[in-house]
Structures are given as structure tokens and as C-alpha cells.
A and B are shown apart, each in its own frame.
Chain A
Amino acid sequence: MSDVLEQTELVESTVLDSSWVTIVWNDPVNLMNYVSWVFRSYFGFSRAEADVRMLQVHHDGRAVVATGGREDMERHVEAMHDFGLWATLAKADA
């Protein structure tokens, strides 16, 4: 019974923790190699993954770069602003 409860709590916290997203928006200023480097150095993405997200920003106008709890996403957005990237956060289902 306790196992079931713990699992339920785990599921709930996982749901809560993926309820926000960090979005990076395209801008005409930031260089493609810089955006890819930021994604690798801050988020720890592989070069391939960083380039995919960078190109998504470039071609689609935006890309979700992180999913999680609101406080974590605010921390990521602040870090992106530190790098000069245009980042916002939003509810995941918005």
C-alpha cells in the first residue's frame, strides 16, 4: 500500500515538475554559433542536440529548451538573459 502511495506521489510530483517550459525565441542579433554554444555550455546538450534546438529557434521562431518546475524554469530564463538570449517561460500546456 505504501508503495502505491509513494508511486502516486512520484507521478504527481513528476507531473507538477513538467508543468512549465523555458522558451528561447529567435532574434536577428544572436549568432548561430553563439546560441548553439550557450545551449551546450549551460544545458549540457550534445553538439547535435544543441544545433537542432538552435536551428529550431532560427527556422520556427522559438524552441522549448527545458521543461520542469516553475522555479527551475525561472532560473533558466534568468541564465538565458545573462547570455543575452531572448527567453520566456510559460505553462507547458499553454
Chain B
Amino acid sequence: MKAFRRSRHRFVAVFDPDEASTLSLLASQVSDLIENRASHGTDPALLRLLPDAYPDDAEASAEFRRFTADDLATRKAANARRIVVDLAPAAGAMSATTVKVDAQSAQAWVRSLTDIRLTIAARLGIETDGDVESGDAVLRDLYDWLGFVQSSLVDCLDR
């Protein structure tokens, strides 16, 4: 992986095939989780992706959810699918491949990388700043790597 850099109006990174496949798979899983959220109602990842808007008012939170959750879920699933589409050539390649993301796609990527990291954090049980070393080591490495990918993209968006 070579971190994102900005090239005129595009954001460019280099992914190894296994990196692209892994990120693509994670994005698909998050997309599936969000789209099938009715059957995962109490999943802590979903509660973090679509949190209560009124922490002390369950009724108002439910009302807010009724009016916003479908649109939010649709956008989050579309963002995740954008990653899958953009990574498809790199995931199917035999060697490290340059991935070019346009400005609109970058907005989807940076949001979905957040959603993926939030989901993995929920699986790892990371709930406070002190929990950063918890959970499965492989998933933990993946989580850190996704933070690196996202951070490099944010730095490019910032310029």
C-alpha cells in the first residue's frame, strides 16, 4: 500500500491485490450489515453507525430514526459499494495497482472508511480511548491499517 496522495483533481493510492480484496470484502460486509439492519437490530456496530439522536429520550430517538435511518443507511451502503467498485481492478490484479479516486468518490471513501472502522471497533470492543490494545491481533492490525488509509485520504482532502 502506498498512501493516498493528491494528483490534480484525483486521489491516488497503490493497493496490493490482497489489500484491495480485504478492504473490498470489509466494505461489502458493512454494506450488507446496513442493508439488512432489521435482522441485526441490537448489533452494537449498527447502534454506533445509526446512534440515538436523543440519549435521554427513547421516544424522540425512535422518531428521529424513523425519519432519518433509511436515508442514512442508503447513503452508507452506497458509499461502501463505491469502495468495492473503485477497488475491483486492484483486487483482481496480479500485482500492486494504482487506484484513482475522483473528488466525489473520495467523499464516499472517507465516510465509509469511518463506518468500516466503527464496525471493526465494535467487534474489537473498543469503546473508550483506553481500549486501543484490545481484541484479536489480526483484526487489530487491520483496524490500524484502515486508520492509516483513512488518515492519508483526509490529509489529501484537507489541501
On whether the two chains bind one another, the answer is yes
| Interface residue ranges, A against B (CB under 8 Å) | 26-31, 33-34, 37, 41, 74, 77-78, 81-84, 86-90
**Which residue from chain B places its CB closest to the CB of A34 in the assembled complex?**
B154
In the complex, how many angstroms separate the beta carbon of B75 from the nearest chain A beta carbon? 6
**Structural contact, A90 and B127, CB atoms closer than 8 A:** no
Given A81-B51, A88-B53: A31 in contact with B64 (beta carbons within 8 A): no
Given A30-B114, A31-B150, A33-B155: A78 in contact with B49 (beta carbons within 8 A): no
Given A81-B72, A83-B114: A31 in contact with B53 (beta carbons within 8 A): no
**Structural contact, A26 and B129, CB atoms closer than 8 A:** yes
**Structural contact, A31 and B129, CB atoms closer than 8 A:** no
Question: What CA separation (Å) do A88 and B61 show in the bound complex?
Answer: 9
Main secondary structure of the interface of A (DSSP, over half): mixed
9 additional A-B pairs beyond A83-B114, A86-B51, beta carbons within 8 Å, are A31-B150, A31-B154, A37-B157, A41-B157, A81-B72, A82-B111, A84-B115, A84-B118, A88-B54
A-side contacts of B50, CB under 8 Å: 81
User: Looking at the complex, which one of A41, A84, A89 makes contact with B54 (CB distance below 8 Å)?
Assistant: A89
User: Binary interface profile of B, 68-97, with partner A (CB < 8 Å = 1, else 0)?
Assistant: 100110011000000000000000000000
Question: What CA separation (Å) do A83 and B55 show in the bound complex?
Answer: 19
User: Looking at the complex, which one of A27, A28, A74, A82 makes contact with B64 (CB distance below 8 Å)?
Assistant: A74
